[in-house]
């Protein structure tokens, strides 16, 4: 956490350094996007220097590319500050696509503001949460040694479960004992957002490590909409908040920053 906070401070410092002494009394920088990073930005205590809205990666990208700060507050009715003015930066779990990068400098915003800059500056894991899973036999959990260790999954298990090829715990082997877990149905519950940056991070990993399975998914692709991988099982889509158990390798958050005039 400390490392992430230091990196946020560094990134913000780099942005602020472009203001120059003449702009020391300028209005707060406006930005938004990734909800995950919002708490880290708030913890930096930069009120008055910048204003940030956690509206999700997709809307953050749109607001930045269109230079339309009203998209921040239109998506979050509970905010007390109305966003208006230049969108100086956006945080996104998902990198900008090639079409977005190609079209930006040709549009009015790109022509007036100059080229955008993408800075990868925060690394985060993606956690897979379990409810009513079989008890594991691994080491005690560091955050609470009194809790029973949960199941341990490798990439092959994740590929099987999320593809629909594995639907029962009896088909998953405990790596500590070599014995299969007791039988119980596995129900995949996934985030229903159509533009989830966290889903993009997870599916990007699955697309890299999973062979073409024989289950419900023919081949994983990187996507922000997990329901699109299960076209016949959308009824199971429901929102699942993050929890710490098994994690896939980390990837970087990408921060879109608009160059500041000198």
2-122+253-257 shares its CATH topology with 130-241: yes
Q: What is the pTM of this model?
A: 0.64
pLDDT digits (tens, 9 = 90+) for 67-116: 888 888 765 544 444 556 788 888 888 888 889 889 888 888 888 888 88
State the average pLDDT over residues 159-170: 88
Length of the chain: 262
Q: pLDDT category, 133, cuts 50, 70, 90?
A: confident
Q: Is the model's pLDDT at 131 over the cut of 60?
A: yes
Select the more confidently predicted residue: 206 or 122: 206
How many C-beta atoms lie closer than 10 Å to residue 156's C-beta? Answer: 16
Q: What is the 3-state secondary structure (H, E, C) of 115-148?
A: CCEEEEEEEEEEEECCCCCCCCCCCCCCCCCCCC
The CA dihedral of 191, 194, 197, 202, to the nearest 10 degrees, is 50
In the chain, where the domains are located = 2-122+253-257, 130-241
pLDDT at residue 168, as a whole number: 92
Average confidence (pLDDT) over 130-142: 71
Q: How many CA atoms lie within 13 A of 121 on its CB side?
A: 23
Give, in degrees to the nearest 5, the angle at Cα 34 between 232 and 45. 155
Give the CATH number of domain 130-241. 3.40.190.10
Instruction: Tell me the average pLDDT of the chain.
Output: 71
Whether residue 192 has pLDDT greater than 50: yes
CATH (residue range 2-122+253-257): 3.40.190.10
Residues 228-256: pLDDT tens digits?
A: 776 544 333 333 333 333 333 333 334 44
Separation CA 127–CA 242 (nearest Å): 6
Tokens coding 82: 């109305």
Any idea which of 23-37, 83-97, 159-173 has the lowest mean pLDDT?
23-37
The tens digit of pLDDT for each residue in 211-229 reads: 765 555 567 888 877 777 7
């Amino acid at each position: 956490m400390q490392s992430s906070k230091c990196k946020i401070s560094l990134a913000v410092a780099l942005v602020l350094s472009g203001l120059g002494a003449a702009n020391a009394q300028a209005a707060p920088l406006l930005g938004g996007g990734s909800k995950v990073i919002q708490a880290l930005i708030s913890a930096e205590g930069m009120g008055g220097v910048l204003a940030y809205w956690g509206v999700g990666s997709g809307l953050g990208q749109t607001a930045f590319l269109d230079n339309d700060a009203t998209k921040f507050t239109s998506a979050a009715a509970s905010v007390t500050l109305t966003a208006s003015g230049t969108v100086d930066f956006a945080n996104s779990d998902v990198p900008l696509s090639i079409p977005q990068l190609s079209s930006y400098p040709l549009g009015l915003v790109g022509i007036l503001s100059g080229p955008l800059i993408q800075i990868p500056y925060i690394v985060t894991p993606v956690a897979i949460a379990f409810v009513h899973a079989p008890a594991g036999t691994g080491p005690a959990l560091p955050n609470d040694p009194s809790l029973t260790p949960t199941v341990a999954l490798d990439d092959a298990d994740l590929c099987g479960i999320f593809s629909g090829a594995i639907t029962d715990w009896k088909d998953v082997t405990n790596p500590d004992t070599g014995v299969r877990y007791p039988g119980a149905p596995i129900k995949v519950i996934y985030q229903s957002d159509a533009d989830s940056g966290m889903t993009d991070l997870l599916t990007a990993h699955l697309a890299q490590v999973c062979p073409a399975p024989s289950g419900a998914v023919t081949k994983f692709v990187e996507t922000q909409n997990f329901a699109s991988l299960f076209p016949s099982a959308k009824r199971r889509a429901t929102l699942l908040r993050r929890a710490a158990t098994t994690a896939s390798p980390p990837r970087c958050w990408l921060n879109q920053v608009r160059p500041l005039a000198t």
